[in-house]
Amino acid sequence: MPENTTPAVTIELDERHGTARITTETNPVTGRTLYRVTAPRVSGTITVYPVVDTSDPTSHLEVGYDFGNTLQEAHHDTWRPCPEPATINGVEMVGANRKTTIDAIENGTIYAHGLRSRGPYDTTWISDVAGDRLNSVVRAVLRHWITEADIDQLTAAAARVDAATRVREAERLTALLDADIARLTTQRDQAQATAENYRRIATGD
């Protein structure tokens, strides 16, 4: 068993949906925790992680979750299933970058809107029955995460990932601005030389 993988445990869903068996695997570099879930008519994975915005020191911590395996890195294609997608009633869920708050998790007020793919760049809502089952699983998984996870440690890891991403973005912007400065400097020098030529004509020098 990998170092950051836990043995299987049973978690309570709700009165209608019973229990689920889960194992978790945490990536200490990305701050993400992968849940492998097995329950009646439920299989696949859900990834949970702190959402950190290092560009805004006043922002409050949010909790993100993806319907699939994004343990190593974020999944930005919201039109297609993640790897190892969560499957409800035989239907693969589509969705990444969902967000909620710890208060909503504790209060049980979170509602996960389930989507399935209808083809390239086309999704539709899952049925109400499947949606109820999905939400029973999502709520239970998120309750387990806020209870068992070392949120401070995972948040620090997520902040490092976010900051590294922003470094790359700032470096790309710097390179673009340097190119713009070089181009504008050349244009300015050319305009200045043109002005000097006309000035000599105008003054008879």
Question: Which pairs from 172-181 meet CB under 8 Å and 24+ separation?
Answer: none
- For residues 115 and 134, what is the distance between their CA atoms, to the nearest angstrom? 10
Q: Please give the average pLDDT of every successive group of 10 residues along the chain, which has 205 residues.
A: 76 93 96 96 96 82 92 78 91 87 90 84 88 94 95 94 93 97 97 95 87
pLDDT of residue 1: 43
Cross-strand bridge partners of residue 20: 11
Q: In what order do the strands lie in the sheet with 42-43?
A: 42-43, 87-88, 91-92
Q: Which DSSP string corresponds to 15-51?
A: TTT-EEEEEEEEETTTTEEEEEEEBTTEESEEEEEEE
Every domain of the chain and the residues it spans? 9-159
How far apart, in whole angstroms, are the C-alpha atoms of residue 181 and residue 187? 10
Write down the pLDDT at residue 3.
52
CA angle 42, 46, 49 (to 5 degrees): 160
CA angle 39, 76, 104 (to 5 degrees): 55
* Rg of the chain in Å (alpha carbons): 25
> Amino acid identity, residue 17?
H
* Total-model pTM: 0.83
Question: Using CA of residue 3, residue 39, residue 17, residue 119, what is the dihedral sign?
Answer: positive
Phi then psi dihedrals of residue 178, to 5 deg: -60, -40
The amino acid present at 119, given as its one-letter code, is: G
**Residue 143 pLDDT:** 96
| Cα–Cα distance list, 90 to 40, 43, 116, 133 (Å) | 11, 9, 11, 12
Instruction: Evaluate whether 68 touches 160 at the Cβ level (below 8 Å).
Output: no
Query: Residue 191's pLDDT is what?
Result: 97
